[in-house]
Amino acid sequence: MIYKILIKLVSDIFEAEPAELGMDTSFYEDLSADSLDMYELILACEEEFEAAFTQDAAALEIDTIGDAVRYIAGMVGDRFGE
């Protein structure tokens, strides 16, 4: 469920086709994300997943959609069927 929600958010923010996104999609290399794009994604995730994201070491290591899914699952886990 987290993956599907995140794909929708990434698709909307980066104007990418959901079918072209996957766990290995890099925000920076594949989607050419900048700090503003990532900030917008963080805000959207905080609202969607009802969680406050912190700037801890794990958050700073997020590069791919898969990294983000695992990070979010660690924060909200059972609430979203993960």
Would you please indicate which residues are annotated as catalytic (active-site) residues?
A: 34
User: Do 48 and 9 form a contact (C-beta atoms < 8 A)?
Assistant: yes
CA distances (Å), 22 to each of 31, 52, 57, in order?
12, 24, 23
64, β-bridge pairs: 26
